[in-house]
Structure 1
Amino acid sequence: MSTEAKILEKSHDRPASIDNPRSPRMKSRSNFELYAWLFMRFSGLALIVLVLGHLFIMLMLDDGVHRINFAFVAGRWSSPFWQVWDLSMLWLAQLHGGNGLRTVIADYSRKDSTRFWLTTLLVVSMILIMALGTYVIFTFDPNITAS
Structure 2
Amino acid sequence: MAAYVAAGGEESVQRVITALYGVTKKLDQWYARQLADLDLTQGEWAVVAALAKAGEESLTPSQLAEHTSVAPSSMTHRLDKMAQRGLVLRRPDADNRTRTFVSLTPEGWDLFIQSIRESDVVESDVLRGLTARERNELARLLEGVIAHLDDVED
**Which structure has the larger Rg over C-alpha atoms?**
1
Same fold (TM over 0.5): no
Richer in strand (by share): 2
Q: Which has the higher contact order (CA 8 A, sep 6+)?
A: 1
TM-score, reference length from structure 1: 0.29
